[in-house]
Amino acid sequence: MAQTNNATLIRREIITRLCRLFVEGRLEDIDRIAIEMAPRNSQPGGSRCCIHKARAIIKYRIMALLGFNVSDETDELESLYSYALRALSSKAPVNGVLTVVDEACTSCVKSNYVVSNLCRGCLASHCMVTCPKNAITMDNGQAKIDPLKCVGCGLCKEACPYHAIIYMPIPCEESCPVKAIYRNAEGVEQIDYEKCIHCGRCMVACPFGAVMYKSQIINVLHRISKADKPVIAMLAPAVCGQFRASYGQVVTAVKKLGFADVFEVAEGAVMTAQHEAAELAHVLENGQQFLTTSCCPAYVELTEKQLPQLKPFVSSTPSPMRYTAELVRQKYPDATVVFIGPCVAKQAEARKYPGVDYVMTFEELGSLMIALNVDLQSFESDEAGEIWPERRFAASSGVLDSVAAYYQGPALKPLVVSGLHKKNIASLRRLATGKHDWNMVEVMACEGGCLSGPGGVSSPDVARKLFNAQSGTIVEQAVN
Amino acid sequence: MPEMIEVQICYGTLCFVMGGSAFELIGEKLPDDIKNSVLVKGMNCPGYCNTQDNGKPPFVLVNGKLVAEANLNKLIACIREEVANGTNK
């Protein structure tokens, strides 16, 4: 789902600037970033009204990147430097992973149905007659919808013989599979953390970049700069596919950034696959109808918040991140452990599990490389690393293939659910009823698997191409 | 045989992260009318990003001419222009 559009690139530019200030010991200049990016007499980008608005938006983006919810602001005059110091002295608030930059949210439309100027103001007025809520009036020879009365049923659109009424989607709401993002009384989008599964779809969908993930990068940089304990990076299997570089080049670069050592999460994925295979054989022999994977944190969150009926079928095997963290702790007991992946939801998983201290995205890793002038192309590609077949965990059906490789038990009837969109969630709801033959179900929130994660560097098609070239494993096409 | 148009993509990490990753698919995305007249190459970071005078990344050279804030559509337009210039000579 990662896309390289202007909203993404601005986020990367801000992350880069933030990292650079920290590394250069100039964090007190953090409030200047907005002025540098939107200087006096410059043109605000997109449809922003003025540079002051553009600066305000940049400020709140940085607030999110410091780990705060934009909605947590109590004093509008609190400087970003103050937020930065708060982020470094204690952990930032832990409710939710995604936050809405309300200044950037344009409150797309008040109602999903809009009367276009194709309206002829006809005598029959089918729209008015059809509307069950009396939300439509004739105003100056054209129909007009009162957004306060409109319930979005769409009957007026169907009724209009001129096709003059159009459906205007609200991209974030449209993309959210669990109705967790909604317009508040002011018409600004808000995230309900009781419902949100941190899949990141709204962030990718918003054309104004108004949804941000809360970053922990400043905390990671702080740990590295203290140099009292080793800071260890764990690279998710989707790392092959992120950069135009070999795995060895990426490892060299990550060490240049200050990480003391690098572990590949595909190593932990071997243990996940082995344990899950044993668990699958055990539960099937004991009469349970099916088992689902548990490595996708957005899916696990879904079963906890939205589909409790599916929860008993979710594997209790720890995710590759957790097994890898155990390997790290065996070698470096006092380490600060940082998971780096394409995933937004992983931060929520890490909070529940004390073995992992911080989570970064690949996008942040790339931005940090830029900030420190680390160029992957400049490194020799000698350290190939062990080629774990479990790198395929990054691609849809890869987890299933790995579990099947270790599995001994009743015949497998596997199902792959690729992408937690509304339709697949409805399928999962049916799955829980048990009226089917499947006995092993792999679920990934992102279409095509982690390679399409919202925190990736490249778009899914590029990531897949690079992954196939770099991972050393053959990955089947995604099952949709 | 017509002159090949040389497209040199900066493979530096900065350009790649700031949008250059899209050029990984340039082979698949070039339209039929030009794809056989283009020679796509990579280059290590020549340092265009060191000064703001060159504009924003990603940087690509089309027949030696610098294209800043490059994207696939922009490159296709530049390549077509080069093709047209070549035939006018």
Residue labelled with tokens 């009837």: A413
Q: Report the C-alpha dihedral over residues A407, A326, A454, A35, rounded to 10 degrees.
A: -170
pLDDT digits (tens, 9 = 90+) for B18-39: 999 999 999 999 999 998 999 9
Contacts of A238 (CB under 8 A, 6+ apart): A341, A342, A362, A394, A449, A450, A451, A453, A456, A463, A467
**A180, amino acid identity:** A
What element of type H or E holds B28? Answer: helix B26-29
In this structure, is the dihedral angle defined by the CA atoms of residues A21, A39, A87 and A102, taken in order, positive or negative? negative
pLDDT digits (tens, 9 = 90+) for A229-270: 999 999 999 999 999 998 999 999 999 999 999 999 999 999
| Helix, strand, coil tally for chain B in percent (to 5) | 45, 20, 35
**Local confidence band at A383 (pLDDT 50, 70, 90 cut-offs):** low
Q: CA nearest B26 in A: which residue?
A: A462
3-state secondary structure of A234: strand
How many beta-carbon pairs under 8 angstroms link A with B? 59
Are the Cβ atoms of A370 and B44 closer than 8 angstroms? no
Quick one: what percent of chain A has pLDDT higher than 70? 95
User: How deeply is A396 buried, as exposed, middle or buried, from its count of CB atoms within 10 A (0-12, 13-18, 19+)?
Assistant: buried
pLDDT digits (tens, 9 = 90+) for A188-237: 899 999 999 999 999 999 999 999 999 999 999 999 999 999 999 999 99
At B27 the pLDDT is 92
Are the Cβ atoms of B11 and A253 closer than 8 angstroms? no
Complex ipTM value: 0.94
- As a whole number of Å, the CA-based R_g of chain B is 13
The contact set of A with B (CB < 8 A) is 4, 9, 12-13, 243-245, 253, 363, 366-367, 369-370, 374-378, 457-459, 461-462, 465-466
Residue A35: how many other CB atoms lie within 10 Å: 14
At A92 the pLDDT is 58
CA-to-CA separations, B50 to A235, B11, B23, B41, in angstroms, rounded: 29, 15, 21, 22
- For residue A362, give the nearest of A228, A445, A462, A447 by alpha carbon: A462
Are the Cβ atoms of A462 and B12 closer than 8 angstroms? no
**Local confidence band at A479 (pLDDT 50, 70, 90 cut-offs):** very low
Residue B66: how many other CB atoms lie within 10 Å: 14
- For residue A234, give the nearest of A345, A125, A326 by alpha carbon: A326
**Local confidence band at A475 (pLDDT 50, 70, 90 cut-offs):** very low
Q: Omega of the bond prior to A147 within 30 degrees of 0, cis?
A: no
> If you average pLDDT over residues A101-129, what whole number do you get?
89
At A186 the pLDDT is 78
Query: From CA B12, how far away is CA A244, in angstroms rounded?
Result: 9
CA atoms within 13 A on the CB side of A137: 6
pLDDT above 50: residue A474: no
- B25 part of contact set with chain A, CB < 8 Å: yes
pLDDT digits (tens, 9 = 90+) for A265-324: 999 999 999 999 999 999 999 999 999 999 999 999 999 999 999 999 999 999 999 999
